[in-house]
Structure 1
Amino acid sequence: VLNLACFNINTLNIKQSKLIGSEPENAGYLNDTDQFDDGYEDIKQLEGEVVEFAYRVQKGRVETDQSERIEQILEAIRNATYAAKEVKDIRHDLSYLRQSDNLFIYNTYQQIIAQVEAFYSGVSNLFNHRNEVVLLEMYTELKRNTDEHKQVVTQAIYSDSQEHKLTEQDLSTMLNTVGEVSLSQTLLLRAMQSYLFSEASSRNLASAV
């Protein structure tokens, strides 16, 4: 939800699931920097509380499968927090692209936003399924689409930089934005992998994709 606010995407635009729900939960973050920063600090605070609780639990008598599941959840939380940080760090870049008078830059920004919206709809939809075979297919497609989008947009930026008279700042900002968005999505996918799949399936999935 917090990540979507960085892209000015309302949660109502995302496919509904138990993850997103049906209310525009990020509406308050969209144009309020202070509230967004508070939201990110809340994420880090919750991460710390969960980690502390998990370690206290593991000090007791915990079955092996339970301990493995706790580690999976902790990994999911770490990656989800990192994913939020990657997006938080490019808020100024996104604003730069959004406000550009250069049509190529603005169109590229719109392309990024469309991909982000489709990605988060896909992530949200993962929570609507429980069959691991279906989840694996959906997860793999999301990962493939994320990688392909980065390659296509990056290539277009390099290829068209001279034609569209991109400055060094334009080029740097665009490439950094595409890279960070892709990294954030990869981290979020890793979080979903740890949370949604069994440890054995998660290991096989990591080696496959």
Structure 2
Amino acid sequence: MITHHDWGRPNFLGILIFLPFLDPFIGLLNWMAPERSLTPGATAYIHKVSSSVPDGAIEAVRKELTRMLFNAIRLNMHSFHIHAHAVFDENSELLAGEPLRYVARYEQEYKLLKQTESEVLGYTYAIQRDAKEEEDLRLVTQLNHAVRNATYAAKFIKDIRHNVDEFRVSPSGTIHDLYASFCLYVTGNYHGLATLMAVPASPNIANEYVELFRQVRRGYEWYLNEIYTVVGADKHLNHEIANLLNINRAAYLSTTALFEAVRVLLNLEEDILAGVQTIPQPRKILKQESQ
């Protein structure tokens, strides 16, 4: 008869009988349920190169940055209802290493961009830990900032998506025309950036970069003037001014972040835009901030 005390006694005979079959049993379990791959799901290159190999690792980060920039632009295009064919071409897709289609699931792709940023930054910190050369550390630091700027560029527009939607469906003919014009301006900016990234070996790349940014800057100032003069002239549209100013400023800041990241990608001088990129704020905004 087995008492309740017998349940707590180890069955040494059973253990001894089972021991010879333990290793084969573990092997069977591993075959039936193999270990899941730890390869990051958001990145395409960094998991293929050890962070302890600086040259290869830095090149992998540059490729990830390129993907992030294209995806940030795609996310922003979605917010302005800009189709991919208006900005990208075969060279863009060749550089990105993947099709650059219209974003179908915005929130999902934005989270993927954030995940990519996290994985790449973790990888660059590992490079910095292992790097011995000062030049490698400098390059990685610049790439860190560029990766963050790629994400910032998407976030600036994400934060004003509701404003853009109101802008787009406004019943006012004046606002509608301004929106159509603004979308063409934004499309030109993104197309210009995509073109710059696709031809980094151009001997005039620095001049083309600066000239494109000057166009962006002039566009920002032109729309700033239009908002105050055209929209402001109609008292029925005065309530739209703050919304439009917010969109214009966010789009400019987003594009500036893209430019800074592209500068790193193209190995251009840090001060290449010195004296061009300061945003003078309208007096009305300055007064509100000082109160």
Mark yes or no: TM-score above 0.5: yes
Residue 168 (structure 1) shift: 4.0
Indicate yes or no: 2:272 matched with 1:205: yes
Higher RCO, Cα 8 Å, sep 6+: 1
In 2: Cα distance, 1:58 partner to 1:76 partner: 16
Indicate how the Cα distance of structure 1 residues 131 and 19 shifts in structure 2: closer, same or farther if over 3 A, else same: closer
- Of 118, 140, 144 in structure 1, the residue corresponding to residue 214 of structure 2 is 144
Matched position secondary structure for 2:269: helix
Runs of 4+ in 1 over 6 A off after TM superposition: none
Larger radius of gyration: 2
Q: Which residue of 2 is the match for residue 191 of structure 1?
A: 261
Q: 1:151 is aligned with what amino acid?
A: E
Aligned length: 200
- Of 147, 160, 167 in structure 2, the residue corresponding to residue 97 of structure 1 is 167
Residue 59 (structure 1) shift: 0.9
Q: 1:9 is aligned with what amino acid?
A: I
Write 1 or 2 for the structure with the bigger share of helix. Answer: 1
Residue 133 (structure 1) shift: 4.1
In 2: Cα distance, 1:207 partner to 1:133 partner: 21
Gaps of 5+ in 1: 29-34
TM-score, scaled to structure 1: 0.87
For the 8 Å contact 2:232–2:238, the answer to whether it is kept is no
Indicate yes or no: 2:87 matched with 1:14: yes
In 2: Cα distance, 1:155 partner to 1:39 partner: 34
- Of 29, 45, 56 in structure 1, the residue corresponding to residue 126 of structure 2 is 56
In 2: Cα distance, 1:21 partner to 1:36 partner: 20
Stretch deviating more after TM superposition (77-86 or 134-143): 134-143
5 Å-filtered alignment, 1:89-168, equals 89-131=159-201, 133-168=203-238
Identity across matched positions, percent: 28
Q: Which residue of 2 is the match for residue 2 of structure 1?
A: 75
TM-score, scaled to structure 2: 0.64
For the 8 Å contact 1:73–1:194, the answer to whether it is kept is yes
For the 8 Å contact 1:97–1:109, the answer to whether it is kept is yes
Gaps of 5+ in 2: 1-73, 277-291
